[in-house]
A and B are shown apart, each in its own frame.
Chain A
Amino acid sequence: MIGGSDRQASPRRAPLVPKRRRRARSRFRVLTAAGGGAVLASALLAACGTSSASTGPVTLTYYLYPDSSGATQQAIKNCEQQSGHKYTISYQQLPAAADGQRQQLVRRLAANDSTIDILGLDVTWEAEFAQAGWIEPWTGANKAQAENGTLQPALQTAIWHGKLYAVPDNTNTQLLWYRSDLVKTPPKTWAEMLADAARLKQQGKPHYIEIQGAQYEGATVWFNTMVASAGGSILNPTATKVTLGAPAVKALSIMKQLATGPGGDPSLSVQMENENRLAMEAGSAAFELNYPFVYPGMKTDNPKLFKNFKWALYPQVNAGTPAKVTIGGIDLAVSRFSQHKALAFQAALCLRDKQNQIIGANIGGVPPTITSLYNNPALFKNYPFHADILYALQHASVRPKTPVYQVVSIDISHLVSPAAGINPASTKQAMVGQLNNALQSKGLVP
Chain B
Amino acid sequence: MTTTTEAAPGGATTEVAKGRKAPLSEGARAERRLGWLLCAPAVIVMIAVTAYPVGYAVYLSLERYNLELPNAVKFIGLANYGAVLSSSYWWEALWVTVLISVVSVTITLVLGMLLAMVMHRTLFGRGSVRTAALIPYGIVTVAAAYGWQYAWTPGQGYLSAMFNNSAPLTDQFKAIGVIVLAEIWKTTPFMALLLLAGLSLVPEDLQKAAMVDGASGWQRFVRITLPLMKPAILVAVLFRTLDSFRIFDNIFILTGGNNGTASVSILGYNNLFNALNLGIGSAISILIFICVAIIAFVFIKGFGTAAPGTDIGKR
Contacts and interface: CB of A to CB of B under 8 A. Distances in A.
A173 B94 CA distance: 40
A106 interface: yes
Contact of A441 (B84, B90, B277, B310): B277
B119 interface: no
Contacts of A443: 83, 275, 280
Interface of A: 1-4, 7, 99, 103, 106-107, 110, 128-129, 131-133, 270, 403-404, 406-407, 437, 440-446
B186 interface: no
Contacts of A445: 89, 270-271, 274-275, 277
Contacts of A440: 64
B311 A441 contact: no
Contacts of B67: 106, 110, 132
Nearest to B80: A442
A129 B69 CA distance: 10
A106 B68 CA distance: 9
Contacts of A446: 89, 92-93, 257, 262, 267, 270
B68 A132 contact: yes
Q: What class of interface size applies to chain B in its complex with A? A: 35 or more
Nearest to A127: B68
B155 interface: no
B232 interface: yes
A132 B68 CA distance: 4
B310 A132 contact: no
A299 B212 CA distance: 84
B170 interface: yes
A441 B64 contact: yes
B106 interface: no
Label chain A's interface by main secondary structure. Answer: helix
Interface string B76-108: 000110011001011011000000000000000
A1 B84 contact: no
A441 B69 contact: yes
Contacts of B64: 440-441
A3 B275 contact: no
B66 A403 contact: yes
Nearest to B90: A444
A441 B283 CA distance: 13
B279 A441 contact: yes
Given A442-B79, A445-B271, A446-B262, A131 B69 contact: yes
A1 B90 contact: no
A131 B72 CA distance: 11
Contacts, number: 85
Interface of B: 4, 8, 64-70, 72, 79-80, 83-84, 87, 89-90, 92-93, 170, 197, 232, 235, 257, 262, 267, 270-271, 273-277, 279-280, 308-313
Given A131-B69, A446-B267, A3 B311 contact: yes
Contacts of B83: 437, 442-444
A2 B276 CA distance: 40
A444 B274 CA distance: 11
Given A3-B311, A4-B311, A103 B262 contact: no
Scoring A1, A443, A445 by chain B CB atoms within 10 A of each residue's CB, the highest score goes to A1
Nearest to B198: A1
18 contacts: A3-B311, A4-B311, A110-B67, A129-B68, A131-B68, A132-B69, A404-B66, A404-B68, A404-B275, A441-B64, A441-B65, A441-B72, A441-B279, A442-B280, A444-B84, A444-B271, A444-B275, A446-B93
Sort A-B residue pairs by CB-CB distance and give the 10 closest, nearest first. Answer: A403-B68, A442-B83, A3-B311, A444-B87, A128-B68, A132-B68, A445-B275, A446-B89, A441-B66, A444-B89
A99 B274 CA distance: 8
A407 B270 CA distance: 10
Scoring A443, A444, A445 by chain B CB atoms within 10 A of each residue's CB, the highest score goes to A444
A99 B170 CA distance: 19
A103 B273 contact: yes
Contacts of B312: 1
Given A3-B4, A406-B275, A446-B92, 12 more contacts: A2-B309, A3-B310, A4-B311, A131-B68, A132-B68, A404-B275, A443-B275, A444-B90, A445-B271, A445-B274, A446-B89, A446-B257
A406 B89 CA distance: 16
A406 B273 CA distance: 11
A133 B4 CA distance: 53
A58 B65 CA distance: 37
A129 B68 CA distance: 7
B280 A441 contact: yes
A274 to B, nearest CB: 14
A270 B267 CA distance: 22
Nearest to B201: A1
A444 B68 contact: no
Contacts of A1: 197, 232, 235, 311-313
Contacts of B257: 446
A2 B231 CA distance: 13
A3 B279 contact: no
B274 A406 contact: yes
Contacts of A441: 64-66, 69, 72, 277, 279-280
Contacts of B69: 131-132, 403-404, 441
A103 B273 CA distance: 7
Contacts of B309: 2-3
B311 to A, nearest CB: 4
A132 B270 contact: no
